[in-house]
């Protein structure tokens, strides 16, 4: 693979000028005209070689989350329901949950009158210490059965092992991986994978044929990412993509750190959408206006990319 010779300072400076998408001659950072079929921010995409097809933009429900609480569970329930329903009305079809977020119930209620085949559900199993109230960590089949009851669904589109950081997680979690593989064979889940929080865990995922879809933290500023230098993360994500794994980009605005910087939000969207190795992205919205705002920004960015 060709080495990237643009240092971080030059890279971030280029983004600040809004010219990074044309400065990168290396294919890792080249915008990819034709990567997405249209300028529609909620167009249907396929997550790698998995059976899951969903919208390019998804809504994350893990804002300020932990111990089965989150922004959506803490604020007024009707506001949370309205937010999720507005996301659906605007074309968002991916609803990203996790056991540690505590949002299964509110998502199920918001989507209760929708056709199940019209949207996709993601959830994640917490196998580490902390994170959820009880100390017990039942096997994946027991946990997924509870997830389905909470989400009021017969199947879950994607179930992942949450927040892996170890370089050998595919060995330590082999039992749960085998159980999830069996659930996929039975049609109880449609795909399985991992959400990683270290570059070592991401490297382990690249080597594993078991991983269908991976959540990766990616933005051009190195904020809340597995490596502070974006090029290091991009190299790993590209390897995942080439291996046929679905890649979901998260932390696009640095875990909320860039939420009030309009220019950097646009630069981050341009960067991630232009990589060509990220299949879709999730954003944790707190207000309906944010959904409308991001849809407008993404449409503009896709037009720029698709025009080359």
Strands 120-125 and 280-283, by their bridges, are unpaired
Rounded Cα distance, 148 and 125, in Å: 13
Per-residue pLDDT tens over the stretch 9-58: 555 554 444 434 433 444 445 555 668 989 999 999 999 999 999 999 99
Closest CA to 302 of 31, 12, 53, 11: 31
Residue-level pLDDT at 147: 98
pLDDT at site 5 = 45
Distance CA 230, CA 183 (A): 35
Nearest-angstrom CA–CA distance, 57 and 42: 6
DSSP-assigned letters across all residues of 206-258: HH-TT-SEEEEE--TT-TTSSSSSHHHHHHHHHHHHHTTBEEEEE-TTTTTTT
Q: What is the pTM of this model?
A: 0.90
At which residue do the structure tokens 């875990």 appear? 255
Give how far Cα 258 sits from Cα of 66, 134, 266, Å. Answer: 21, 34, 10
Alpha carbon 152 to chain centroid, angstroms:
22
What pLDDT was estimated at residue 225?
87
pLDDT of residue 17: 42
Cβ pair 190, 239 in contact under 8 A = no
All domains in the chain, ordered by first residue: 33-306 (3.20.20.100)
Helix (H) / strand (E) element for 109: namely helix 104-110
pLDDT of residue 199: 96
Q: What pLDDT sits at residue 25?
A: 40
pLDDT of the residue at 20:
42
Low-confidence ranges of the chain (pLDDT < 70): 1-34
């Amino acid at each position: 693979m060709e080495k990237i010779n643009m240092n971080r300072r030059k890279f971030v400076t280029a983004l600040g000028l809004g010219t990074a998408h044309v400065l990168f001659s290396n294919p890792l950072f080249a915008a990819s005209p034709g990567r997405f079929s249209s300028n529609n921010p909620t167009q249907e995409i396929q997550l790698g070689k998995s059976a899951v097809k969903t919208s390019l933009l998804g809504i994350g429900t893990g804002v300020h989350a932990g111990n089965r609480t989150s922004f959506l569970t803490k604020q007024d329930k009707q506001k949370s329901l309205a937010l999720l329903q507005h996301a659906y009305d605007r074309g968002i079809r991916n609803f990203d949950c996790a056991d540690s977020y505590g949002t299964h119930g509110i998502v199920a209620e918001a989507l209760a009158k929708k056709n199940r085949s019209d949207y996709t559900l993601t959830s994640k199993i917490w196998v580490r210490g902390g994170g959820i109230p009880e100390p017990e960590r039942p096997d994946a089949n027991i946990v997924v059965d509870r997830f389905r009851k909470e989400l009021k669904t017969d199947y879950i589109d994607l179930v992942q092992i949450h927040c892996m950081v170890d370089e050998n997680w595919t060995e330590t979690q082999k039992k749960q991986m085998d159980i999830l593989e069996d659930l996929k064979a039975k049609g109880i889940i449609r795909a399985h994978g991992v959400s990683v929080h270290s570059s070592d865990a991401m490297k382990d995922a690249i080597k594993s044929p078991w991983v269908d879809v991976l959540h990766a933290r990616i933005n051009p500023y190195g904020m809340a990412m597995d490596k502070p230098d974006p090029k290091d993360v991009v190299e790993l994500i590209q390897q995942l993509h080439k291996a046929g794994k679905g890649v979901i980009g998260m932390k696009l605005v640095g875990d909320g750190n860039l939420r009030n910087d309009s220019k950097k939000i646009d630069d981050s969207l341009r960067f991630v959408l232009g990589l060509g190795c990220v299949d879709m992205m999730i954003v944790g919205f707190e207000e309906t206006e944010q959904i409308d705002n991001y849809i407008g920004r993404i449409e503009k960015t896709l037009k720029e990319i698709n025009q080359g």
